[in-house]
A and B are shown apart, each in its own frame.
Chain A
């Protein structure tokens, strides 16, 4: 795997919609039944009126199994109550199926609309032919085609067989408004199954005669198996297999998850701890501070920061490693059957799983079938194919179906992590306190670099989509100094946007304080003039950032004095083509911040399902505050120190604030929603702490 799935996805997104409109939608291939109507791979309508929409992304809580079908159903003019969904596995017909980069809605908006529009036009044509009238005299609504002049109507089920014989239109017209499904708050289709225990996550999957496995992995990063003693463990209850399945893991197979976990605990493995056995967090931090910065690469620039004069302000910010910690621990079920292998994985990268597994077990990609289960959270952790590779290797080794389950400790200690980063910021202020120059140098390891993918214009391939700089300051320099680390890195919700926003939006607050100005007014002044800012292939608009900032401030009643002891902070940021702002209200209790209220505003273009967007914002607030307050992975003796939710504890209900989510009304094409609300949280909170205490937090987590 040399191309980052996530970066690839973003490159495709950045290419814009022009390519997509002209694209040819894949067909379903061989018809399932002669009578079914399936104009493209996304849709089937059967004569009984059942409408099945295929979801080719992974459901990890962000609602794709509801919002993506809504897009298609809108153009189809379908009755939403008749919609059923089908989860696609790793396929060759849907393009890149990676679920990440807040991209599911924005990259499927065009194909899902087209899929629905094609079918609608064909159903209308089929009805018009039966009635011997012009298609223009007919219209579609609520899964019927109507002929107003004669009052005749036919249901989609009744038309399915005839519609299947109509040529598929290559460029069907899209609706231009009058949406009945898109933009309406719609209950999630998966909710009933998630309140009665029937929803099937990866960890719940089972096949007949399946074995259960737990793996011993070296907790020292990069360590390998030197030796192990299987003899005692093989006598333990239910244990059927103990052996190495890779250089760095020994698998224990048993007749139940518990017997496998218990035997693995008893297994004596001697590790070759390798070159990282003395690595610790202090050394890693020091290496960032002492890094030679002469090789800094420009991410973005305007004017010439070196020539700017004025009052100089400088600050350094630092962030730790963080763990995704989805609540469903890593797991995967695989069944190797000689010339084929079937996998059931809670994965964000089904195609990467397929393509990585195949050569490792001596098969071709087309011999590996990857099914996507429900994901008990993702947050980027399941952009890695590690669980699936382990399951496939082990199934081949024991020649039987097997489910591997990671423990929470495995997940904390043998995972991939959000990279550490150091941020050196400086600015020059004019006599009125407005910045004439702004420099932000990020020093840290590159996720894509570690995974072996090529930089884009010299920087980590994630930067084009995950960052922005929307203040039209005359002289700006964003720079990246790429470092290396042996700590495994992964893409964690909002990725570099979180780091960049924490440093940048804390620093803007410092500038406002240095200028003696209100932090909201300061930002609004900087964004006052409508300006388009070109950043890589994207164009950012000050007007849209200003609008979300104003919306959040207005709803938070920024101008209204707070009761004694209450303080506010604000921050805003653009990433994944969306704009977000947060106003956070806190009090200080025993020297610690207590967050009472978060008012969040987002502009992510056309909102597909306000119900799910509201969920995403609530989620982003709790996730973002957890990151800010205490999410920290530390390293000692080459190992992760944290082990479970006692020492890596997500926010609980008693620390979660009242959340108010607001959206800018927009008809722009939809952009990201899962990640963009996260980055403003940490700086808004730290800015509130500054307002309360005059103490500036420059290192996360706050509670360290």
Chain B
């Protein structure tokens, strides 16, 4: 079985898995980082969202071979040195219901704020519509992003 080296949440990880294994399953089964969720396996729902070299990525459709040598950030890494502003805002707005999609929602929001630090409602809506929440927490997600951004500019 081939070996791959990933930089996950700042740590170097060597994994021995089939080359076509989606990054999602390497994170979940091999590295036991289960905060990243399986929702659709096809890039439709965003539950598996992580950052790869800073870019928002559906880990369910990226093979581990494509992630090799790159920096992967998961929900567990986002708040490793104290909660991220988005995580604090998510708590303040009490966003999650079942919570299953929320790791992906927060990772997507982090990618949004990295490029657009003070997004408008329209910018939030456009960016966040790639992520499905079956419990319908969209209103609170929007509020939490504004809160983390310190308001729209």
Which residues does A use to contact B, with CB under 8 Å? Answer: 60-63, 187-188, 190-201, 203-204, 206, 212, 237-238, 256-259, 262, 325-329, 374-379, 405, 407-408, 611, 615, 618-623, 644-646, 649-654, 656, 658-659
Contacts and interface: CB of A to CB of B under 8 A. Distances in A.
A653 B142 CA distance: 9
Contacts of A258: 17-18, 21-22, 25, 29
A197 B74 contact: yes
Interface in B75-123: 75-76, 78-79, 83, 87, 90-91, 94-103, 106
A187 to B, nearest CB: 5
B91 A259 contact: no
A370 B29 CA distance: 23
Contact of A237 (B1, B40, B45, B125): B1
Nearest to B99: A194
A326 B134 contact: yes
A378 B135 CA distance: 10
Contacts of A374: 98-99
Given A326-B98, A327-B101, A375-B98, A195 B87 contact: yes
Given A196-B87, A258-B25, A619-B136, 18 more contacts: A194-B102, A195-B95, A195-B102, A197-B76, A198-B35, A203-B34, A256-B21, A327-B39, A327-B100, A327-B134, A328-B98, A328-B100, A408-B40, A618-B137, A619-B97, A619-B137, A645-B40, A654-B126
Contact of A618 (B47, B103, B140): B140
B57 interface: no
Given A203-B37, A257-B25, A644-B40, A190 B99 contact: yes
Contact of B94 (A187, A196, A644): A187
Contacts of B138: 618, 622, 652-653, 656
A187 B88 CA distance: 13
A197 B103 contact: yes
28 contacts: A63-B97, A191-B94, A191-B95, A194-B96, A195-B96, A198-B76, A203-B34, A203-B37, A238-B18, A258-B22, A326-B100, A327-B134, A375-B98, A376-B100, A377-B100, A407-B41, A408-B41, A618-B138, A619-B137, A621-B136, A622-B136, A623-B134, A644-B40, A644-B41, A645-B39, A645-B44, A645-B132, A658-B139
A374 B138 CA distance: 21
Contacts of A329: 38-39
B42 interface: yes
Contacts of B25: 256-258
Given A407-B41, A652-B129, A204 B1 contact: no
Contact of A644 (B44, B99, B128, B134): B44
A385 B101 CA distance: 23
B contact face: mostly helix, strand, loop, or mixed: loop
Interface of B: 1, 17-18, 20-22, 25, 28-30, 32-42, 44-45, 47, 74-76, 78-79, 83, 87, 90-91, 94-103, 106, 124-126, 128-142
B44 A646 contact: yes
A187 B90 CA distance: 11
Contacts of A651: 136
A536 to B, nearest CB: 31
Contacts of B78: 196
Given A61-B97, A258-B22, A623-B136, A653 B42 contact: no
A656 B125 CA distance: 10
Which 6 pairs show the lowest CB-CB distances between chains A and B? A197-B35, A622-B136, A61-B98, A376-B100, A194-B99, A61-B97
Nearest to A201: B100
B42 A650 contact: no
A408 B42 contact: yes
A196 B95 contact: no
A203 B39 CA distance: 11
Contacts of B79: 195-196
Nearest to B32: A206
Contact of B135 (A61, A195, A212, A405): A61
A623 B136 CA distance: 7
B96 A656 contact: no
A191 B96 CA distance: 6
Nearest to A623: B136
A618 B28 contact: no
Contacts of A615: 94, 97, 135, 137, 140
A618 B134 contact: no
B55 to A, nearest CB: 20
A197 B36 contact: yes
Nearest to B103: A197
Contacts of A621: 136
B38 A405 contact: yes
A204 B25 CA distance: 11
A650 B132 contact: yes
B32 A619 contact: no
Contacts of A62: 97
A376 B76 contact: no
Given A62-B97, A203-B38, A327 B139 contact: no
